[in-house]
A and B are shown apart, each in its own frame.
Chain A
Amino acid sequence: MNQAPAPTHLLPPTTGTSRLLEAWHTESHPADLTEHLNRHGPPPRIGASLIEVVEQAGLTGRGGAGFPTGRKMRSVAGRGRRAVVVANGMESEPASRKDRLLLGVAPHLVLDGALLAAQAVGAHQVHLCVPRTSTEQLRELAAAVDERRMAAIDPLPVILHAAPHGYVTSESTALVHWLNGGPARPLSTPPRTSEKGVRGRPTLVQNVETLAHIALIARHGPDWFRQAGTADMPGTTLVTMTGTVRSPGVLEIEPGTTVGQLLQGLGGVPEPLQAVLLGGFAGTWLPVDQALGLGFSRSGLASAGATPGAGVVIALPHDACGLAETARMLTYLAANGAQQCGPCLFGLPAVAADFTALADGHADADLLSRLRRRVGLLPGRGACSHPDGAARLAASALTTFADDVEQHLHRGHCERPSVLSVPRATRMNEWR
Chain B
Amino acid sequence: MTDALTLRIDRVACTGHGQCAELLPELITLDEWGYPVLHDTAIPANLRAHARRAIRACPRLALHADPTAARSDSSSQAAVTTTSSTR
- Residues of A participating in the B interface, judged by any CB pair closer than 8 Å: 61, 63-65, 67, 71-72, 75, 88-93, 96, 99, 167-172, 185-190, 192-195, 205, 207-208, 279-282, 309-310, 340-343, 345-347, 377, 381-386, 389
Q: Which residues of B contact A71 (CB under 8 A)?
A: 77
- B82 interface neighbour in A92, A192, A193, A194, Cβ under 8 Å: A92
Closest B-chain residue to A205, C-beta based? B79
Contact B12 A65 (CB under 8 A): no
Closest chain-B Cβ to A241's Cβ sits at a distance in Å of 16
Closest B-chain residue to A71, C-beta based? B77
Closest chain-A Cβ to B64's Cβ sits at a distance in Å of 9
Closest chain-A Cβ to B40's Cβ sits at a distance in Å of 12
Contact A385 B78 (CB under 8 A): yes
Is residue B10 within 8 Å, beta carbon to beta carbon, of the partner chain?
yes
Partner-contacting stretch, out of B19-27, B29-37, B48-56? B29-37
Q: Which residues of B contact A382 (CB under 8 A)?
A: 11
* Alpha-carbon separation in the docked complex, A67 to B79 (Å): 7
* Alpha-carbon separation in the docked complex, A138 to B32 (Å): 44
- Residues of B participating in the A interface, judged by any CB pair closer than 8 Å: 10-14, 16, 31-38, 71, 74, 76-87
Task: Other than A342-B31, A383-B12, give 9 A-B pairs with Cβ distance below 8 A.
Answer: A91-B86, A92-B82, A170-B85, A170-B86, A171-B81, A172-B80, A281-B83, A309-B85, A341-B11
* Alpha-carbon separation in the docked complex, A195 to B78 (Å): 13
Give the 9 A-B residue pairs with the shortest CB-CB distance, closest first: A342-B35, A170-B87, A310-B85, A63-B86, A341-B11, A93-B85, A282-B82, A346-B33, A63-B81
* Alpha-carbon separation in the docked complex, A333 to B5 (Å): 34
- A384 interface neighbour in B38, B76, B80, Cβ under 8 Å: B80
Closest chain-A Cβ to B37's Cβ sits at a distance in Å of 6
Which residue among A65, A99, A170 has the maximum number of chain B CB atoms within 10 Å of its CB? A65
Contact B31 A340 (CB under 8 A): no
Contact B81 A92 (CB under 8 A): yes
Contact B35 A381 (CB under 8 A): yes
Closest chain-B Cβ to A150's Cβ sits at a distance in Å of 29
- A170 interface neighbour in B13, B34, B84, Cβ under 8 Å: B84
Q: Which residues of A contact B84 (CB under 8 A)?
A: 63-64, 88, 90-93, 96, 170, 207, 280, 310
Q: Which residues of A contact B32 (CB under 8 A)?
A: 346
- A340 interface neighbour in B11, B38, B77, B79, Cβ under 8 Å: B11
Q: Which residues of B contact A386 (CB under 8 A)?
A: 82
Closest A-chain residue to B31, C-beta based? A377
CB within 8 Å for A65 and B78 given contacts A170-B87, A188-B13: yes
Name B's interface SS: loop
Closest chain-B Cβ to A46's Cβ sits at a distance in Å of 24
* Alpha-carbon separation in the docked complex, A171 to B87 (Å): 5
Which residue among A89, A96, A171, A386 has the maximum number of chain B CB atoms within 10 Å of its CB? A171
* Alpha-carbon separation in the docked complex, A399 to B82 (Å): 22
- A63 interface neighbour in B10, B38, B87, Cβ under 8 Å: B87
* Alpha-carbon separation in the docked complex, A186 to B80 (Å): 10
Q: Which residues of A contact B35 (CB under 8 A)?
A: 341-343, 346-347, 381
Closest B-chain residue to A169, C-beta based? B87
Q: Which residues of B contact A310 (CB under 8 A)?
A: 81-87
Contact A383 B82 (CB under 8 A): no
CB within 8 Å for A64 and B81 given contacts A92-B87, A167-B87, A341-B14: yes
Contact B79 A61 (CB under 8 A): yes
- B83 interface neighbour in A61, A167, A190, Cβ under 8 Å: A167
Q: Which residues of A contact B77 (CB under 8 A)?
A: 67, 71-72, 75, 192, 194
26 contacts between A and B (CB under 8 A): A63-B84, A64-B80, A64-B82, A64-B87, A65-B78, A65-B81, A72-B77, A72-B79, A88-B86, A90-B86, A93-B82, A167-B87, A170-B81, A170-B84, A170-B85, A172-B80, A185-B12, A186-B12, A189-B78, A309-B82, A310-B82, A310-B86, A342-B31, A345-B33, A381-B35, A385-B80
* Alpha-carbon separation in the docked complex, A384 to B76 (Å): 13
Contact B11 A90 (CB under 8 A): no
Q: Which residues of A contact B12 (CB under 8 A)?
A: 185-188, 340-341, 383
Contact A172 B11 (CB under 8 A): no
Closest chain-A Cβ to B60's Cβ sits at a distance in Å of 11
* Alpha-carbon separation in the docked complex, A171 to B12 (Å): 15
Closest A-chain residue to B71, C-beta based? A190
Q: Which residues of A contact B14 (CB under 8 A)?
A: 341-342
Closest A-chain residue to B33, C-beta based? A346
Contact A93 B78 (CB under 8 A): no
- A91 interface neighbour in B11, B38, B74, B87, Cβ under 8 Å: B87
Q: Which residues of A contact B79 (CB under 8 A)?
A: 61, 63, 65, 67, 72, 172, 193, 205
